[in-house]
């Protein structure tokens, strides 16, 4: 199974990204809540900056001047996670107490706002309006996706198409934009730009589907959050949608979900039906199809090293489910 360490070996510049993030936190320590140890311990995969830097390598191997941009993208991601935890009333993320749980919702919201502001300060200083436009659009689309998700809690009428549209907004567009931004750090052709973007878009779809699968059966020590947190919060994902289509107990499932609150017996029933109807296997197969689609765009990219790195990152994403 691929691990976070494998990703950092593919993109060794992530070590520098981590150092810059630490500097940002400690440089404003007098203003920030006492969360520095929390943030240092909760080092995530850094997938988005990894994809940005791996894509930028198409223009050469000297990526030092791009480290701040990669940091900006990780700050945007971190800000969205902090705000999501407030919305979900989450207590744990990556095996550590969330900011909202340890410091309160007000402090969490303000910290997320600060990270957003700092990210766009960094992006603006680099001076490429195309990248700023991409990241601004990403934040807008992610916000709309989250708003729609809140409106759709415990909505049993959601279709697979609805779900795919939502995860495109929430996750895939950001990942696609990180890949495209790397390509945009120097002049290139529209065909190559499209290849990076479409690789990232399909990879992002697979990534979120796998995340949603892991919510049901991934170990908490690996996923870093409470198991079944999505369904407990009324978030209807692909395994549930598929199960509702096939289950002979769909009326019982509808009754549970439409009530708007699930007890442990109802969650056990849902898990049993997801397993018996192959909801997880179907979702994994769908993610695999998106990975195949993502890889199909790599033949348009001229650098063999970049192609191999992006293939390895795709393998890392898919391996999380096995």
Taking only the tens of pLDDT, the chain with its 322 residues reads 456 668 999 999 999 999 999 888 888 877 777 765 556 555 668 999 999 999 999 999 899 999 999 999 999 999 999 999 999 888 887 777 888 888 899 999 999 999 999 999 999 999 899 999 999 999 999 999 999 999 999 999 999 999 999 999 999 999 999 999 999 999 999 999 999 999 999 999 999 999 999 999 865 545 556 788 999 999 999 999 999 999 999 899 999 999 888 999 999 999 999 999 999 999 999 999 999 999 999 999 998 999 999 999 999 999 988 7
**Nearest 5°: phi and psi at 115?**
-65, -40
User: What is the total count of domains within the chain?
Assistant: 1
Q: Enter the tokens of residue 273.
A: 């039906």
CA dihedral 249, 250, 254, 257 (to 10 degrees): 70
Nearest to 97 by CA among 47, 38, 36, 13: 38
Where do we find the tokens 């007890």? 263
Token pair in block for residue 68 = 């701040």
Strand partners, 97: 92
CATH number at residue 251: 1.10.600.10
- Give 99's Cβ-side CA count (13 Å radius): 27
Say which residues have a Cβ less than 8 Å from residue 48's Cβ, sequence separation at least 6.
73, 74, 76, 77, 174, 175, 178
Structural domain boundaries, residue 188 = 4-319
CB 185 within 8 A of CB 59: yes
pTM over 0.85: yes
- How far is it, in rounded angstroms, from Cα 195 to Cα 116? 28
121-128 — which CB contacts under 8 Å span 24+ positions?
122/68, 122/69, 122/71, 122/72, 122/75, 123/69, 123/72, 125/68, 126/68, 126/69, 128/184, 128/185
């Amino acid at each position: 199974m691929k691990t976070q360490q494998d990703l950092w070996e593919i993109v060794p510049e992530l070590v520098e990204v981590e150092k810059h993030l630490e500097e940002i936190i400690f440089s404003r320590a007098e203003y920030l809540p006492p969360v520095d140890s929390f943030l240092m311990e909760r080092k995530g995969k850094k997938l988005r900056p990894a994809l940005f830097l791996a894509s930028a390598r198409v223009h050469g191997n000297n990526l030092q001047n791009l480290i701040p941009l990669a940091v900006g993208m990780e700050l945007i991601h971190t800000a969205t996670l902090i705000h999501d935890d407030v919305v979900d009333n989450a207590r744990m993320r990556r095996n550590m107490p969330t900011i909202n749980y340890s410091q309160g919702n007000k402090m969490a919201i303000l910290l997320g706002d600060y990270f957003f502001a700092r990210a766009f300060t960094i992006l603006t200083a680099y001076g490429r309006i195309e990248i700023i436009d991409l990241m601004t659009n990403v934040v807008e689309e992610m916000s709309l996706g989250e708003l729609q998700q809140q409106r759709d809690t415990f909505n049993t009428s959601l279709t697979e198409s609805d779900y795919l549209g939502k995860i495109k907004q929430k996750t895939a567009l950001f990942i696609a934009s990180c890949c495209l931004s790397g390509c945009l750090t120097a002049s290139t052709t529209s065909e190559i730009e499209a290849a990076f973007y479409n690789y990232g878009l399909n990879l992002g779809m697979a990534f979120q589907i796998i995340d949603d699968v892991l919510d049901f059966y991934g170990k908490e020590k690996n996923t870093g959050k409470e198991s079944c947190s999505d369904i407990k919060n009324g978030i209807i994902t692909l395994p549930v949608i598929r199960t509702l289509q096939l289950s002979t107990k769909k009326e019982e499932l509808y009754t549970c979900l439409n009530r708007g609150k699930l007890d442990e017996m109802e969650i056990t029933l849902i898990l049993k039906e997801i397993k018996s109807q192959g909801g997880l296997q179907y979702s994994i197969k769908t993610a695999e199809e998106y990975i195949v689609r993502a890889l199909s765009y790599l033949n348009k990219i001229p650098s063999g090293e970049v192609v191999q790195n992006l293939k390895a990152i795709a393998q890392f994403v898919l391996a999380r489910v096995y």
